[in-house]
Structure formats: C-alpha cells, structure tokens
Amino acid sequence: MKTNLLTKALAPLALASNLVLAEDKPIIHDGEYNFLAAQHGEKWAAQDKEIDAKLAEIKKKNGDKRPNILYILIDDVSFGQMGDPKMNYVMGIKTPNLNKLSSESLNFMRMYTEPSCTPTRAAFLTGRLPVRSGIKEVKVALVGEGLPANEVTIAEVLKQAGYNTAHIGKWHQGDIEQAYPHNQGFDFAAFPLHQQVQLTVMTPESGKANNQFGYNASLRNDTFELDKKFRPFGLVTGVEATAGGKAKEVDLKPGEEWTHAHYVKMNERYQKQILEQVESLAKKDEPFFLQYWPLYPLNFVVPENPKTLNGGFMAEKLELLDTWVGELLAKLEETGEADNTIVCFMADNGLMYHYEGTSGLNQLIYRGGKTDFTEGGIRVDAFMRWPAAIKPNSYAGDIVHVSDLFTTFARLGEAKQFIPRDRIIDGIDQTSLILEGELNGRRDYVYVYQNDILRGIVKQEYKMHMPAPGMPGAAAPVFNVFRDPREEHPQIGTALWSGASFQDMAYRHMMMIKKYPHNKLGKGIPYEGIENLRPESVETVKTFMSWQPQK
C-alpha cells in the first residue's frame, strides 16, 4: 500500500521528466534545472509551442529574416552604475544614451555573471560554467593556455546556422592559436591578445598617475635587480584576423614602448571598427552576430579635461563609452537594422573596487566587485532591446545567468540544433522571459564559482556562502539578498531550514559533474598563429618556454 501510494505520487514527476526527455536529443542541463523541469516541464513545453509560433510571426514580419544580434559587453562596472538617472546623480556622472537604451529595453534586474573577465566571457561563449572548460582568469603574462578548440562557442553555433559573425574588442580567452576568436567561430576579429593590465596599467602614464609602481624602466631604479625577466615584456598588443587565417599585430612597431596614447588609439580603433562592421554586415542577406567588447571604462590615467562632475579616471571613460554606445545605436538606425536587431548590453562583472574612490566608480549598492563572489562581483546592469519583439521599459526580476544568453541566442537564431549534446550546457533557454516578460524565466538559481572553487549558491532570494573547508554545513552563512543586499547580516540560525536544501543543490550539481567530467583547458605555444611577431615578442616566448617542463 505504501509503495503504491509512493508510485502514484511520483507519477507526475516521471511524466514531466519524460516530456523534457522526449525531445530529440535534448540539451543536457545541470541537475538543478532538471529538478525545476520536473516541476514545470509540462507548462514549459506548452509555452514553447506558443513561443515558436510567435517567433515565426516576428520573422515573417521581418521579410523572413532572423534577427541580428549585437552583444555589447563592457568591462568592470557594477550594478546601478549605468542606465538609471537617479544613480547617475548619486555618482555625479551622466549616461544618457545608456539610460535611453535601458528605457527601450527589457531590464534584467538579476543578471548574474562570473566574478571576473575571462570566466564571464567564457560562460557566454560556451553556455557553460567556465570551470567545465577548464577556464580560469587568464593572467597578463604568457600562459600557453586558453579556450579549448573542442568547446563550441555561440559564434560557431550561429555560424553553422548561417549567421555572419564578427568580434571587436577585448577577448581575454588565452594566448594560444586555438583560443583566438577567428578560430572560435568569428569571420573577423580585432582584439588585443591580453588584457588591460598590459594595456592601461603597464604604461608610463599610469605610473605617473600613481596607479602603478615599478614597471616602466624610465620610472624605477634597478640597482638590486638580478632577474631581468620578472616584469612581463614583449607582449603582443592588438591583432586582427579573419576566420581560418593568421593573426596580424597592428599599430606597435618593433622596439616601441606601449603608452597610454596607444591605448587610447586602440579604443578609438575598435569603436571605428564596430561602426564599420555594422555598416558592412547590414548590407548582407544573412543576419549578423556581432560582439563589441570595449576595453573602457578601464583606464588608469587622470583625464586631461575631465568634464564629469565625478572627475574620476574611470568615471570619465564610462561617460565616453556612453557616447560611443549612442553612436553605435545611431548607426543601427541609419542602416535600417535597429528594429530587427537584438541589442544586449551589459557589464562582465562588478567594478575594480581596488581603485574605488580615486577611479570615480564605487560599489554603490552591492558589496564587493571584480574577483568577489558577493553580489557586488556578479550582479550587473543588463538591458536587452529588440523593438520587433521586446516590450520597452520593462523589467524582469527573474534570475538570469550570462550563460543563458548562449542558449537563448541559439534559439532566437534558429540554431539550437547546433548546441552540442555531449556535455552539460548550463545556459537555460530564456526566450520565454524575453518574449513573454517577467515571471516567465526558467531559472531561480546560480552556482557561483571563483575560478574552480564553488563559493556560493544563489537560490531565489537566498544565497549561501559555502562553509570554509572543514566547517560543518550548518555553519554556512545564508543571506537574504533583498533584505541585505550587501551580505552583511548572515543568517546562520534563522535560515537553518535552508541548509538541507542548499546541500541537496550542491549534491545535484556534483552528481552531474561526476557524470560529465570537466573538459581540459586548451594548451599550446603562446603566440602561434601570429604572422608578424616583433623580435621582443619572439624573445618573451623563448623566455616562457625556457622554464616549461619537458613533455
């Protein structure tokens, strides 16, 4: 009798599971999503049919053309720092173009990223938690590592479905050939090999602005210096390439020192190039997938003529970026593509708060920033505009993770069949949220990693910080992010009820890792595939290889 009752009780669960699994080769999601699908699968399947009809209608209205996708990802800006007139006043800055974009968009009020540049970008590109592809934050010196060739990026997915693709700006996925964007699905790419520690911190001007010590030869004393290779040197700067071809470094001459002027020029070049891309891709028959990942507002030089009330050296570049986004959106209008282009704008993680105060950017609402697993590190402003389908000036309190964009863009581009079925895809298809609005999201959780360590779990309004190694789970602090956005009042006693559920969540996650083990980070010789290496770059590769273990 008891068994019969249980079997009966479990029947709907089995049904729901079957529905999810009934798709031809379903996408493999994490345990937590499956747990939700078991609760909502029937409803979601029915809704998906309506959504397919809606998408077909939108496409028909647009002359049978699928939407373009423009994904703008900026660097190190915290939630609230853009798109809200009142918060503009708090900070003494003006972002009128972003405020306008926000008012024309669906605003994701709980967009979670990873806590740092490389991981967030990898999560978007692969639709997977970066830990699954072996990805950690890529440091500025040579690493001989990067995004593995066998990861399938959103560019590859959309490319296979017939999209034209291009990447302009920051990349930060490693210094090996297989990791370069033109080898990861982009028809064209213009990008710096490394990141802003090289490009804006390691400049003599940043030294003179007191934001960096001891790098530039002209600003230090080397009396006791035995090791002449301690400071990174000879790094490749900006390169350009087309799919399948070799990369070519632009701008810097052999022997020339990288300066702030070069950084400014690089930023201006990318802005020019993104406008050119829109112009040329708009003329083609196929839709486009375009990534613009600016390097600003990261900047470590005091502005010459600060015009912001704030005056800080990053705040000023945030205002400049606002102007540039305005230009880009105007270019979309001008080419007639605005109505059928999905513009998704967001930051990759919280501010670089190590320069809080002087940079002009501050934590504002959530505690922490880049590198932290507190909300300040992983909550960002995110707007999605698509005049043909998205309700302007709308908000969604549903949880979204940056990896969801992978799966969602794939569906919107009719490319879902190219998402690999042999690995876990963390990205949830959130098309329902985008088309049907708030309360139609399909995620209420996030696993928060710092590199390869699980540091927190977000579920609904609760967030558990994982207990320190050796500590019993009951000692793990749980926070209510609505009541306590800065995660300063841990509920250890009062949220004990949640401990078991959080532990189940961790278990569901770990079980799936056991079943689908992590991929290995790509490895190789740095700078392969660059055809015009400067002598100093050849030298730095030689230095790097000199201390690698023999194979």
Closest distance to its own copies from the beta carbon of 485 (Å): 6
360 binds its own copies (CB under 8 A): yes
Closest distance to its own copies from the beta carbon of 502 (Å): 19
In contact, 395 and 438? CB cutoff 8 Å: yes
Q: Out of 60, 220, 489, 520, point to the residue binding its own copies (CB under 8 A).
A: 489
Q: Out of 80, 185, 350, 456, point to the residue binding its own copies (CB under 8 A).
A: 80
**Cα distances (Å, whole numbers) of residue 195 to 22, 142, 235, 237, 299:** 44, 11, 11, 9, 12
Closest distance to its own copies from the beta carbon of 90 (Å): 6
Q: Out of 315, 318, 415, 464, point to the residue binding its own copies (CB under 8 A).
A: 315
Detail the DSSP E strand segments found in 427-480.
445-450, 453-459, 462-465, 478-480
Instruction: Please tell me the total number of residues recorded for the chain in this structure.
Output: 551
Q: Which residues pair with 247 in a beta bridge?
A: 530
Cα–Cα–Cα angle for 314, 320, 322, rounded to 5 degrees: 105
Residue 306 or 467 having the CB closest to its own copies:
306
Q: Out of 13, 14, 21, 90, point to the residue binding its own copies (CB under 8 A).
A: 90
Restricting to residues 292-311, name those near its own copies by CB under 8 A. Answer: 309-311
In contact, 519 and 132? CB cutoff 8 Å: yes
* Pairwise CA distance, residues 259 & 160, whole Å: 40
Cα 64 off chain centre by:
30
The answer for 184, left when phi > 0, alpha when psi is -120 to 50, beta otherwise, is alpha
Residue 99 or 450 having the CB closest to its own copies:
99
Closest distance to its own copies from the beta carbon of 93 (Å): 8
Closest distance to its own copies from the beta carbon of 262 (Å): 27
**Cα distances (Å, whole numbers) of residue 527 to 404, 492, 539:** 31, 49, 11
Residue 84 or 337 having the CB closest to its own copies:
84
364 binds its own copies (CB under 8 A): yes
Closest distance to its own copies from the beta carbon of 398 (Å): 11
Closest distance to its own copies from the beta carbon of 281 (Å): 33
In contact, 241 and 532? CB cutoff 8 Å: no
**Cα distances (Å, whole numbers) of residue 264 to 142, 209, 267, 301:** 23, 16, 5, 11
Residue 76 or 84 having the CB closest to its own copies:
84
In contact, 28 and 516? CB cutoff 8 Å: yes
Cα–Cα–Cα angle for 71, 76, 80, rounded to 5 degrees: 85
Query: Which of the stretches 18-26, 241-249, 335-343, 480-488 binds its own copies when contact is defined by CB under 8 A?
Result: 480-488
Closest distance to its own copies from the beta carbon of 62 (Å): 30
Q: Out of 273, 323, 358, 519, point to the residue binding its own copies (CB under 8 A).
A: 358
* Pairwise CA distance, residues 23 & 356, whole Å: 49
76 binds its own copies (CB under 8 A): no
Residue 15 or 309 having the CB closest to its own copies:
309
x/- mask, its own copies, residues 101-140, rule CB under 8 A, reads ------x-xx------------------------------
Q: Out of 231, 246, 486, 523, point to the residue binding its own copies (CB under 8 A).
A: 486
Residue 96 or 473 having the CB closest to its own copies:
96
Q: Out of 354, 483, 514, 551, point to the residue binding its own copies (CB under 8 A).
A: 483
Closest distance to its own copies from the beta carbon of 441 (Å): 13
Q: Out of 42, 240, 356, 539, point to the residue binding its own copies (CB under 8 A).
A: 356
Q: Out of 24, 64, 304, 488, point to the residue binding its own copies (CB under 8 A).
A: 488
φ/ψ of residue 241, rounded to 5: -165, 160
395 binds its own copies (CB under 8 A): yes
Residue 259 or 491 having the CB closest to its own copies:
491
3-state secondary structure of 226: coil
Q: Which residues pair with 453 in a beta bridge?
A: 450
Q: Out of 214, 392, 397, 535, point to the residue binding its own copies (CB under 8 A).
A: 397
Residue 164 or 363 having the CB closest to its own copies:
363
* Pairwise CA distance, residues 422 & 352, whole Å: 36
Secondary structure (DSSP) of 329-383:
HHHHHHTT-GGGEEEEEEESSS--GGGTTTSS---TTSS--TT--SHHHHEE-EE
Closest distance to its own copies from the beta carbon of 355 (Å): 10
* Pairwise CA distance, residues 498 & 492, whole Å: 10
* Pairwise CA distance, residues 321 & 326, whole Å: 8
Q: Which spans of this chain sit near its own copies (rule: CB under 8 A)? A: 79-80, 83-87, 89-93, 107, 109-110, 309-312, 315, 356-365, 395, 397, 461, 480, 482-486, 488-489, 491
